[in-house]
Chain A
Amino acid sequence: ETGVTQTPRHLVMGMTNKKSLKCEQHLGHNAMYWYKQSAKKPLELMFVYNFKEQTENNSVPSRFSPECPNSSHLFLHLHTLQPEDSALYLCASSQGRASGGVYNEQFFGPGTRLTVL
């Protein structure tokens, strides 16, 4: 598959579980992002990684832990979540800061629909 892929596409977990979301981009980009999409806040930026370094953390609770082992992969580790964390989690990628592209289109993955019971 090309573009940005995410697994799993659907996830149901209890509040005491630990799970991870995975994102992979096949576009040669250097920046990756996690967004939360819910009815209350349609597209809420969570984390930004540029060349594997976290450059932005928008006051996200510590029960969400991102990991970016390389420019092509991004993970979101989840533990002790709350029911209000149920949402669609979207990953995106773009060219990134040092690539010479000042204005960078973000390419989104299909998302992981998370339900916390």
Chain B
Amino acid sequence: GENVEQHPSTLSVQEGDSAVIKCTYSDSASNYFPWYKQELGKRPQLIIDIRSNVGEKKDQRIAVTLNKTAKHFSLHITETQPEDSAVYFCAASMGYGQNFVFGPGTRLSVLP
């Protein structure tokens, strides 16, 4: 089955700096890669996703890149702010929520 790895497990950055979180997956059939943000005590929420026919997607300060050949994808956050502090989960899926496998998460701390 699918296996998703995520690095780093913890990340601290200064406010205003960029943060990069990387994930790798094992099943080449996966074609949907969402990123979820979970703030302390709250539920995970989708922040951005990318599909296998796209190499890069951007939404304001957040961007995701996908390399299907290497089977890895990354989340980039620019101009980080304290409210970006949370746990970020990547996931891989073949669509329809089937085989929806999450990475172990990255705890991001943005220091003022």
* Interface residue ranges, A against B (CB under 8 Å): 31, 33, 41-45, 48, 50, 55-56, 90, 94, 96-97, 101-106, 108-111
Contact = CB atoms under 8 A, between A and B. Distances in A.
Nearest to B106: A42
A56 B98 contact: yes
Contacts, number: 62
Interface of B: 31-32, 34, 42-46, 49, 51, 87, 89, 91, 93, 95-102, 104-105
Contacts of B89: 42-43
B46 A43 contact: no
Contact of A103 (B42, B51, B99): B51
A33 B43 CA distance: 14
A55 B94 CA distance: 14
A106 B97 contact: yes
A28 B87 CA distance: 28
A91 B28 CA distance: 27
B43 A48 contact: no
Given A42-B105, A96-B96, A105 B44 contact: no
B95 A96 contact: no
A48 B97 contact: yes
B97 A33 contact: yes
Contacts of A43: 44, 89, 91, 102, 105
Given A56-B99, A90-B43, A103-B32, 20 more contacts: A33-B100, A42-B102, A42-B105, A43-B91, A43-B105, A48-B98, A48-B100, A55-B98, A94-B96, A96-B96, A97-B96, A102-B32, A103-B95, A104-B97, A105-B34, A105-B46, A106-B34, A106-B97, A106-B100, A111-B43
Nearest to B44: A108
Contacts of B31: 103
A94 B97 contact: yes
Contacts of A109: 43
8 contacts: A33-B97, A42-B87, A48-B98, A90-B44, A102-B95, A104-B96, A104-B97, A105-B34
A103 B43 contact: no
A50 B100 contact: no
